Amino acid sequence: METTASRVRAVLERHVAAGAAPGAVALVGRGWEAEVVVVGNRAKESPGPMRRDGIFRIASMTKPILAAAALQLVEEGRLRLDEPVDRFLPELADRRVLKQIGSELHETVPARRPITLEDLLTFRCGLGIVLAPPGTHPIQQRISELGLVGFGPPDPASPLGPDEWLAKLGTLPLMAQPGEQWMYNTGSYVLGVLLARASRVSLPQLLH
Query: What type of residue is 120?
Result: L
The boundaries of every CATH 3.40.710.10 domain in the chain are 62-207
Give residue 1's pLDDT. 64
Please determine, for residue 13, whether its predicted confidence score (pLDDT) is greater than 90: yes
Catalytic choice (6, 60, 158, 202): 60
Question: Would you call 60 a catalytic residue per the annotation?
Answer: yes
**Three-class secondary structure of residue 183 per DSSP:** coil
Average pLDDT over residues 84-104: 98
Please determine, for residue 71, whether its predicted confidence score (pLDDT) is greater than 80: yes
Give residue 55's pLDDT. 86
Say what percent of the chain tops pLDDT 70: 99
Please determine, for residue 36, whether its predicted confidence score (pLDDT) is greater than 90: yes
Separation of alpha carbons 139 and 136, rounded Å: 9
Classify residue 143 by burial, with Cβ atoms within 10 Å: 0-12, 13-18, 19+.
buried
Average pLDDT over residues 107-127: 98
For strands 96-98 and 108-110, give the pairing: antiparallel
Give residue 58's pLDDT. 76
Give residue 7's pLDDT. 94
* Homologous superfamily in CATH for domain 62-207: DD-peptidase/beta-lactamase superfamily (3.40.710.10)
Tens of pLDDT, residue by residue over 158-205, are: 899 999 999 999 999 999 999 999 999 999 999 999 999 999 999 999
Q: What backbone torsions phi and psi does residue 66 show, to the nearest 5 degrees?
A: -60, -40
Q: Are 170 and 92 in contact (CB under 8 A)?
A: yes
Q: Are 196 and 208 in contact (CB under 8 A)?
A: no
DSSP assignment string, 36-87: EEEEEEEETTEEEEP-TT------STHHHHHHHHHHHHHHTTS--TTSBGGG
